[in-house]
Amino acid sequence: MRQLLRFGIVSLAAAALAACVSRLDIPTPPMQAETQAIAAEYELPTGSVDIGQLQVLLDAVNVKLPNLSLDWLPNFASDLLTSLDERLQQSGLPDSPDASVETHHFILSAVVNLHRICPGFDNPPGPVDLANGQVDSTGIVKDGTLEPEIWGVAAGCQASLSLYGGSALSGAATLDGTLILYLLGRLPTSTSNARFLFRYDGQLGIGNQTGETSIDFRIFDGLVDFRVPVTDGNIVAEMGKGSSITLRASNGTFVCDLTARSCQ
């Protein structure tokens, strides 16, 4: 889903290190160590499933699900990344944190700042309007490789839910906060081939309800998973078809049904 956030300004500062053209000041991504630790926990969950408390755990999953906005927010995040990918491709810069897939004549470092005007509450979007808010994001290419952490700030960013969730959704969303998109593969061209960890901290308004929130989830080739706290850490819940969900924990993997509230 491309071009839903309207393109405003992209700025590029680069240094060709092989030619020693200039010295580039590379910013440090926010919450870098914490984000890396979260990404590691999605790979190897720290928490365990208490077999005797499965009903309680499934209730906790059901309570958390509506607060994650998984019916539209993954597409919103993927759209930001596909937009950045377009700008990097146009500039001839690498689009993957895997250095082995990049081939360049020069070892480049660059700071890419992308300014996007948000689409507003209409679907289809109207003309570009600064009153719809914005998302300013930053990506770093260091020594010829795209760094995995891309971050940005949403300021009064307004969007129709139906733009990102399809005709089944209605209503509007407003974001005011910090976004971190931690790449687990190359920049995506769509949600179906996206691999990234998403974090959002700040205000999220849905319709007439607005509140402070802290969200993280992972997108991996069309699958969505999220962390669920338990007594000894976090487990990872992976969404399946219908009411099916897979719980990955330090003591095993459990396939469950949220409607039947049962696991195998």
Question: What is the domain partition of the chain in residue ranges?
Answer: 6-44+69-224
- Please state, in angstroms and rounded to a whole number, the distance separating the CA atoms of residues 244 and 239: 7
Strand bridging mode 134-142 / 145-146: antiparallel
Rounded CA-CA distance 175/164 in Å is: 14
pLDDT digits (tens, 9 = 90+) for 146-158: 999 999 999 999 9
Q: Distance between CA 43 and CA 165 in Å, rounded?
A: 27
Using 50, 70 and 90 to split pLDDT, how confident is the model at 4? very low
Task: Note the pLDDT of residue 203.
Answer: 98
Residue 192 has which token pair? 């179906």
Q: How confident is the model at residue 22 (pLDDT cuts 50, 70, 90)?
A: low
CA-CA distances (angstroms) from residue 131 to 126, 162, 204? Answer: 12, 20, 17
Other CB atoms within a 10 A radius of the CB of residue 90 amount to 10
pTM above 0.75?
Answer: yes
Per residue in 51-106, pLDDT (tens digit) is: 999 999 999 999 999 999 999 999 999 999 999 998 888 888 888 898 665 555 55
Query: Residue 18's pLDDT band (boundaries 50, 70, 90)?
Result: very low
> What is the structure's pLDDT at 80?
93
Question: Which residues have CB under 8 Å from 154's CB, separation 6+?
Answer: 118, 133, 134, 135, 175, 176, 177, 178, 179, 202
Please give the Cα distance from 25 to 121 (Å, whole number). Answer: 37
At 9, the pLDDT band (50, 70, 90 cuts) reads very low
Confidence of residue 192 (pLDDT cuts 50, 70, 90): confident
pLDDT at 147: 94
> How far lies 252's CA from each of 9, 49, 202, 249, in Å?
47, 8, 34, 5
At residue 90, the pLDDT reads 83
Which uninterrupted H or E stretch holds 57? helix 54-64
Distance, in Å, from the CA atom of 95 to the CA atom of 195, rounded to the nearest integer, reads 13
Strands (E), 166-261: 172-183, 195-206, 209-220, 223-230, 233-239, 244-249, 252-257
pLDDT digits (tens, 9 = 90+) for 120-156: 999 999 999 999 999 999 999 988 889 999 999 999 9
Q: What is the pLDDT of residues 246-261, one digit of tens each?
A: 999 999 999 999 999 8
Considering only 108-112, 152-156, 159-163, which range has the smallest mean pLDDT? Answer: 108-112
Per-residue confidence (pLDDT) for residue 17, from 0 to 100: 38
